[in-house]
Amino acid sequence: MAVEGLDSINFNHVLNSIEFSLEPPSRAEIAKQVGLSRTAVSYIVQKLIAMELVMEQEKENDGKPGRPGTPLVLNPNVWHSIGASFYSCEWCFVSVNLLGAIQSTYCLQVKDNSQQEILGALLEGLKYMKANSQPKLLPAFGVGAPGLVDARKGTIERADDLGWNNTILLSDLIRKSTGLDSFILNRYCANGIEEIEKKQYTKRFENIVYLGMGTAMAGTVFLGGKFVENTKYRLGHIVIDPNGERCHCGQEGCLQTMVCEQAWIRKAEALGLQGIRSGQDISQLAENGNELARRCIQEIAKPLSMGLAIIVNVLNPDLIILGGPLGSSSQYLLDTVRELMKSRILDYQYEHITMVKGDAGKYSSAVGAALLPLKQKYELLNKAQ
């Protein structure tokens, strides 16, 4: 049976209805929801079942599969997506099923910050994951890369914290090495997508800013509930102090330079805090009430609150998430920043902003990257057929 005029938009509407309905919907319920005829929905569902993207949920006391009332769910057992993300001398790789649940993980350490070492480890890890992914792999990777990423071109334009300032044709490299396409985005941005999708923040908030902090800084912006896929915003390079320290990007006093992990450690050392190896060490001490660690975080919170006030004045977020390995590490940081924000923006603005801490885990960013091929699953498989 052929049904005229059914393009990928309709297939995606049906898939979204199955994926995001509160209860698994029947064919009739989908038809009502997406405004297509029952015949068209049945045709699309049959095709999605044949593609092993969707399956009928078994109902208790009902031995009649295929009945119109049968609830439909995403098939979690067949297709997988692979995501990779780089942080602190390590690539983390995950394989997730269609529900975004982690199926397997793999990590590779790098010896130094050279492009050869970091990109070589990425390609090696992707090839390993491709060879070991069971049972079927969507034909594209998601990669949370360091630096300024141009998602449309699949390139890293520069990575200031690593000292890279040349364009890297990352998607091309991955295609040549593995035979597969890829979706490239910044690693903190990937972390933000994972955080926002996992907690379904777009159901409650319209404008969301996720600010990821670690050895560098980058963010994710959702406006009107939609992810702003534009690499030309660079939240980490808002200038906070024109007389401040020079950033790798060439400007003085960038937010990133003032609040990244190196800044935490420099401030901690200047305050005489002993035995610090990472920003998380400082967070942990501050959470335990250590006065020096708290003073260090207060110093970090000042430029951070200034940067956030600028973002609030421009984008009017209802939700700000402090995320990434450092932003997620300290409730004290969040509370201090929230307090400082009061004096930097109007009460009128302050009152409608919710501020929360992210909960970045080791694999959050890689999972966020793996979600990109999942969003395109129908197109990817339809193209590959």
Min dist CB 136 to Zn ion, Å, is 42
- Residue (of 96, 58, 97) closest to 76 by Cα position: 97
- Cis upstream peptide for 135 (omega within 30°): yes
| Contact range with Zn ion by CB under 5 A, out of 3-11, 33-41, 86-94, 248-256 | 248-256
> Would you tell me the crossing angle of helices 291-315 and 279-287 to the nearest 10 degrees?
110
258 binds Zn ion (CB under 5 A): no
Q: Would you say 322 and 337 are in contact if contact means Cβ atoms under 8 Å apart?
A: yes
158 binds Zn ion (CB under 5 A): no
240 binds Zn ion (CB under 5 A): no
216 binds Zn ion (CB under 5 A): no
| Contact range with Zn ion by CB under 5 A, out of 28-36, 235-243, 297-305, 361-369 | 235-243
237 binds Zn ion (CB under 5 A): yes
Among 249, 271, 345, 355, binds Zn ion (CB under 5 A): 249
Which tokens in the block code for residue 153?
A: 């071109």
Among 121, 238, 247, 300, binds Zn ion (CB under 5 A): 247
| Contact range with Zn ion by CB under 5 A, out of 180-188, 253-261, 278-286, 341-349 | 253-261
CA 254, distance to chain mean position in Å, is: 23
Distance (Å, whole) CA 105 – CA 126:
11
| Contact range with Zn ion by CB under 5 A, out of 104-112, 114-122, 234-242, 326-334 | 234-242
Which tokens in the block code for residue 82?
A: 């692979």
**Closer of 77 and 165 to Zn ion (Cβ):** 165
**Coil, strand or helix at 109:** strand
267 binds Zn ion (CB under 5 A): no
| Contact range with Zn ion by CB under 5 A, out of 41-49, 99-107, 204-212, 233-241 | 233-241
Min dist CB 249 to Zn ion, Å, is 3
Min dist CB 219 to Zn ion, Å, is 14
**Closer of 221 and 259 to Zn ion (Cβ):** 259
* Number of shown-chain residues binding Zn ion (CB under 5 A): 5
- Residue (of 297, 309, 304) closest to 349 by Cα position: 309
Exposed, middle or buried, 344 (CB in 10 Å: 0-12/13-18/19+)? middle
Q: Nearest 10 degrees: CA dihedral of 270, 273, 274, 279?
A: -90
Distance (Å, whole) CA 181 – CA 328:
31
78 binds Zn ion (CB under 5 A): no
- Residue (of 77, 318, 33) closest to 196 by Cα position: 318
Kindly list the residues in this chain that would bind Zn ion in the complex (CB under 5 A): 237, 247, 249, 251, 254
